[in-house]
Amino acid sequence: MSDGLGGQTVEAARRALAARFRAGAIDSAELDARMLLGAVLGLDLTGLIAAARRLLTAAEAARLEDSARRRLAGEPVARLVGRKEFWGLPLRLSAATLVPRPDTETVVELALELALDIRRGAGDPTRRLCIADLGTGSGAILLALLSELPGACGVGTDISEAALRTASSNAANLRLADRAGFVACDYAAALSDRFDLIVSNPPYIRSAEIAGLAAEVRDHDPRAALDGGADGLQAYRALIPQAGLLLAPFGVLVVEAGHDQSTDIEGLVAAAGLTLERPARADLAGILRAVAGRKLPP
């Protein structure tokens, strides 16, 4: 791709960009090329098809070249376009937020299943559920749950005020702001209400393993959202006891787990006085990804 790209058509530029990404060993070359081109031109897939024969301007070509260089250097497409889809919802990102990943949808799936049990256990099938998302980041888990539970309300917490601004913006864009609030604190430290459902995707990478992560993660996700301490369990030791105190009777905690952490997390859940709820849920790769515990009434 050269400075003369401004004379190419949209379709020719897309093909050239995809070829360049394939040569750079990027597996999702075609998809990445479409996404970056669409972001530069402000067009969706239909728009790109309709504009296939129009020529790029010099300014558009320059922006596309900048994006291409950054992508080849390892910057994720989601960072370049500033958004990522999660649970079918378009979410804005910022430097303070983790890029939501499909693995985390396992937490949403299990939480939605258990939400029905919460209502049954409380003897009120119409009960309005109250949700807390500890370490909410972009708001991905909370907003996914609220989108599926029309009567629910929730709060997302994060130590990063910049992340909370992003989450609040996402709630507004998804028309969920009237049911979602955001609080700056360390996990549940500033919360005092009782919650029916508490969810969290805390940092769980062992500190010594961060240097070996893929560049897309290591160099572009906020370290605070990755680093789980020496054994990867530091965040769980903080948030699980807090959650145990805040759960209403029959309430449920669902947390995301790293690839070999589910057994240790189950031990922490039991130590907090919660009853383990079903086997840990595996993601599409077969990794035990979601652990749940229920607070039974005395």
Tokens of 24: 């750079």
Q: In the predicted model, is pLDDT for residue 97 greater than 70?
A: yes
The chain-wide mean pLDDT, for the chain, equals 94
Task: Pinpoint the residues of the chain covered by CATH 3.40.50.150.
Answer: 85-294
What local confidence, expressed as pLDDT, does residue 2 receive? 43
Architecture (CATH level 2) of domain 85-294: 3-Layer(aba) Sandwich (3.40)
Task: Pinpoint the residues of the chain covered by CATH 1.10.8.10.
Answer: 3-81
What local confidence, expressed as pLDDT, does residue 120 receive? 74
Report whether CATH 3.40.50.300 matches the domain 3-81: no
Q: What is the CA radius of gyration of the chain?
A: 21
Per-residue confidence band for 7, with pLDDT thresholds at 50, 70 and 90: confident
Is the separation of the CB atoms in 204 and 233 below 8 Å? yes
- What is the mean pLDDT of the segment spanning 52-80? 95
Render pLDDT for 137-163 as a digit per residue (tens, 0 to 9). 999 999 999 999 999 999 999 999 999
Q: Which residues of 128-204 form beta strands (DSSP E)? A: 130-134, 153-158, 180-184, 195-200
How would you classify the pairing of strands 180-184 and 153-158? parallel
Tokens of 226: 């990755």
